[in-house]
Homo-oligomer: A and B are copies of this chain.
Amino acid sequence: MTFRDHLEDVCRGVDGAVACSLMGVDGIEVDTHLASDAELDLKSLLVEYADVFRSARLAAATHQAGGVVEVSINSDKLVTVARLVSPDYFMVVALTPEGNYGKARYLLRIAAPKVRAEL
């Protein structure tokens, strides 16, 4: 399976998913699967969320809370769950607020080691 297959798998498995991406922690997108036409400029938003992920990581490391594994940002229009795949990459799934958040977290956890094995 390629990266894209894993991204598609996550999107297919999560009710309300609009996109799944593999991104560098530096904000550079590796690959994205868009499940539907997103109303908003999802890719630009995810680049900014990568910055948020990086800030959380720095804060946790500075205060002895260990490595950041997962960051969720839930807004009025979009829920995102990002999970670290390797020290330099994370997967993120974006879904509607009515989507299945628990399933998104679960599938990311399952997919992360499979994607890591390909990096």
Across the interface, do B75 and A67 meet the contact criterion of CB distance under 8 Å?
Answer: yes
Measured in the bound complex, the distance between the Cα atoms of B66 and A48 in whole Å is 14
Nearest B residue to A41 via CB reads B63
Nearest B residue to A64 via CB reads B40
- Assuming the contacts A49-B59, A52-B55, A59-B52, asked whether A76 and B65 have C-beta atoms less than 8 A apart, the reply is yes
Contacts of A77 in B (CB 8 A): 64-66
Interface size class of A (residues with CB under 8 A): 20 to 34
CB of A28 closer than 8 Å to a CB of B: no
Contacts of A60 in B (CB 8 A): 45, 73, 75, 78
CB of A107 closer than 8 Å to a CB of B: no
- Assuming the contacts A55-B52, A55-B55, A56-B52, asked whether A68 and B75 have C-beta atoms less than 8 A apart, the reply is yes
Contact with B along A58-85 (1 / 0, CB 8 A): 0110111111111111111110000000
Contacts of A63 in B (CB 8 A): 40-41, 44-45, 48
Q: List residues of A whose CB falls within 8 A of some B CB.
A: 39-41, 44-45, 48-49, 51-52, 55-56, 59-60, 62-78, 102
